[in-house]
């Protein structure tokens, strides 16, 4: 009988084992448990949110929710949303078990839930189906829901609000009752422009963030929501952006924007200058802080910047520390009916890593940060991020009274589309929105293009086919076995 080369066989079998091991590493990592004591919960948030979490957890050990938790570590996911998303995608896609509480932007819920990276909190193991999400701001609660289940809890929120020049309005005989609808705001702005443009160089009636980026998508969603189109994707994930109310909203907005040759708005019926086509948060904020805008759609952070201005128009306050010459209110709708919503929510929500070995403890930390009044006030104190918990607005501390205005404006909040491929759809929306308002196309044609392009990006074959690793691993393993057999046969034949 011919001898088999034992050393060669052992080498090839080891190679096979090592190859198989590489393929199995991710699966093993996903089931790895933290065995060290004490129990430490890791929460991952952006650099900006560190101070808010730290302050919010100062009293955590006094809460029953802290039972069994020895410490909470705060980990950075980056300094901005792009870095945050890249960090989380990389770690969670690899089956990371070290992160417990995951801070997310409100538009990522569907993506993270669909990938199985965060747990379904509606499960009876956690919050159950009876948990009352109505304790939170409406648009924030909606942002935490995917396929009728809760996947996160609201932490703090941002929302689009309307900043207005109270001094200019009062000088011209207007009150807040005169800007409930977009038609009323248009008429009010035109009157003020005609009366004050000679005194204020560069004055515009309205500005916002309508450049071709995420801010443009947000403003598009707000404008169509203001005319009743608050849902553009149905339960099956199908989009419809060609509804008549959407066409009408774009037609109205486009008519407010001056053509390139109209440099003096006071002599026209336009209230928006051409510069809005490239305006982001920075440009629109500067326009407001320079005193050159009667109305601006902006986020809450501009509130503090306004008070810190050296201009008496913005830094003059009353006995409660509230501004005298300007204020904030809800963004107008088209006719003020209840089904019209005009303020997109932003902000952060907290979810639980589906691979965390301490899911219940992580949920306790999450509930404390989201349900405790003291904790909820911390983002407001640090960065003017309003609390997501409604009850915090009852009996606000004197130094935080300004937040009541944001709460009052939250009645018209809406979420951006809750959809796993939101980032792809957002790019399409901002492209077409920019083309419409810049007169490159008509509202009807631009929305038809938007619809077609959305359908196109959603039918692209994904780069990674779910479950492909298993058949690939089996293929490699079978190939290695075949190689061993062939090598051994050749050696036997030579002997």
Task: Tell me the per-residue pLDDT of 41-51, one tens digit each, with 9 for 90 and over.
Answer: 999 999 999 99
Based on the domain organization, do 153 and 167 belong to the same domain? no
Based on the domain organization, do 287 and 404 belong to the same domain? no
The pLDDT value given to residue 26: 41
Based on the domain organization, do 211 and 315 belong to the same domain? yes
Based on the domain organization, do 37 and 115 belong to the same domain? yes
The pLDDT value given to residue 438: 97
Q: Which alpha helices (H) appear in 230-335, and where do they start and end?
A: 244-254, 281-289, 301-307, 312-315
Based on the domain organization, do 129 and 278 belong to the same domain? no
What's the whole-model pTM score? 0.82
Q: Is residue 142 part of a domain?
A: yes
**Of 377, 394, 414, which residue sits at a domain end?**
414
**Within 13 Å, how many C-alpha atoms sit on residue 235's CB side?**
3
Q: Is residue 17 part of a domain?
A: yes
Distance (Å) of CA 460 to CA 69, 446, 455: 45, 21, 9
Residue 110's contacts (CB-CB under 8 Å, 6 or more residues apart) are 146, 418, 419, 420, 422
pLDDT (average), residues 167-191: 98
Beta bridge partners of residue 181, listed in sequence order: 333
Task: Give the range of the structural domain holding residue 269, as residue numbers without chain letter.
Answer: 161-238+255-330
Q: How many CB atoms lie within 10 A of CB 123?
A: 13
Which two structure tokens, joined as six digits, stand for 398?
């004197």
Based on the domain organization, do 165 and 153 belong to the same domain? no
Based on the domain organization, do 141 and 223 belong to the same domain? no
Based on the domain organization, do 291 and 219 belong to the same domain? yes
Q: Is residue 437 part of a domain?
A: no
What is the rounded CA–CA span in Å between residue 75 and residue 83?
13
Count structural domains, the chain.
Answer: 3
Q: Is residue 326 part of a domain?
A: yes
Based on the domain organization, do 142 and 211 belong to the same domain? no
DSSP state of 76: E
Task: Tell me the per-residue pLDDT of 384-427, one tens digit each, with 9 for 90 and over.
Answer: 899 999 999 998 998 899 999 999 988 889 999 988 999 899 99
Task: Tell me the per-residue pLDDT of 129-149, one tens digit each, with 9 for 90 and over.
Answer: 999 999 999 999 999 999 999
Whether 478 shows a pLDDT value over 90: the answer reads no
Q: Is residue 456 part of a domain?
A: no
Based on the domain organization, do 227 and 267 belong to the same domain? yes
The pLDDT value given to residue 23: 42
Q: Is residue 353 part of a domain?
A: yes
Largest CA distance in the chain: 110
Residue 326 near residue 164 (C-beta atoms within 8 A): yes
The pLDDT value given to residue 137: 94
DSSP state of 155: E
Based on the domain organization, do 316 and 369 belong to the same domain? no
**Of 414, 430, 462, which residue sits at a domain end?**
414
Based on the domain organization, do 129 and 8 belong to the same domain? no
The CATH number for 37's domain is 3.40.190.10
Q: Is residue 19 part of a domain?
A: yes
């Amino acid at each position: 009988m011919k001898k088999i080369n034992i050393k060669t066989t052992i080498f090839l079998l080891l190679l096979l084992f090592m190859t198989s091991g590489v393929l199995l590493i991710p699966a093993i990592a996903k089931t790895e448990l933290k065995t060290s004591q004490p129990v430490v919960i890791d929460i991952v948030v952006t650099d900006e949110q560190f101070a808010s979490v730290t302050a919010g957890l100062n009293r955590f050990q006094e809460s029953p929710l802290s039972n069994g938790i020895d410490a909470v570590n705060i980990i950075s996911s980056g300094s901005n949303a792009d870095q945050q998303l890249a960090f989380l995608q990389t770690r969670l896609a690899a089956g990371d078990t070290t992160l417990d509480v995951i801070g997310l932007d409100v538009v990522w819920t569907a993506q993270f839930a669909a990938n199985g990276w965060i747990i379904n909190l509606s499960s009876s193991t956690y919050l159950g189906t009876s948990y009352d999400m109505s304790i939170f701001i409406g648009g924030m609660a909606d942002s935490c829901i995917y396929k009728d289940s809760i996947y996160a809890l609201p932490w703090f929120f941002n929302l689009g609000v309307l900043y207005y020049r109270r001094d200019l309005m009062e000088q011209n005989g207007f009150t807040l009752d005169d800007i409930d609808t977009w038609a009323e705001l248009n008429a009010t702005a035109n009157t003020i422009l005609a009366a004050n443009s000679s005194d204020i160089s560069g004055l515009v009636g309205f500005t916002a963030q309508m450049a071709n980026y995420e801010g443009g998508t947000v403003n598009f969603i707000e404008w169509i929501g203001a005319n009743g189109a608050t849902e553009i994707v149905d339960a099956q994930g199908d989009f419809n952006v060609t509804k008549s109310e959407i066409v009408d909203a774009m037609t109205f907005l486009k008519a407010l924007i001056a053509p390139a040759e109209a440099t003096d708005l006071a002599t026209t019926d336009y209230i928006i200058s051409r510069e809005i086509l490239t305006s982001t948060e920075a440009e629109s904020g500067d326009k407001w802080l320079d005193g050159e805008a009667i109305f601006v759609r902006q986020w809450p952070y501009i509130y503090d910047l306004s008070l810190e201005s050296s201009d008496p128009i913005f830094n003059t306050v009353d006995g409660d520390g509230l501004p005298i010459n300007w204020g904030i209110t809800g963004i107008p709708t088209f006719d003020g009916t209840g089904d019209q919503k005009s303020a997109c929510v932003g902000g952060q929500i907290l979810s639980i890593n589906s691979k965390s070995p301490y899911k219940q403890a992580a949920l306790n930390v999450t509930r404390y940060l989201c349900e405790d009044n003291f904790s909820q006030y911390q983002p407001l104190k640090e960065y003017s991020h309003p609390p997501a918990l409604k009850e915090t607005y009852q009996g606000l501390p004197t130094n935080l009274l300004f937040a009541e205005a944001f709460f009052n404006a939250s009645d018209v909040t809406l979420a951006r589309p809750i959809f796993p491929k939101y980032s792809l759809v957002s790019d399409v929306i901002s492209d077409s929105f920019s083309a419409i308002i810049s007169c490159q196309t008509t509202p009807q044609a631009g929305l038809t293009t938007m619809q077609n392009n959305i359908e196109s990006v959603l039918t692209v074959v994904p780069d990674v086919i779910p479950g492909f690793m298993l058949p690939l691993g089996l293929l490699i393993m079978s190939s290695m076995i075949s190689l061993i057999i062939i090598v051994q046969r050749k050696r036997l034949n030579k002997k």
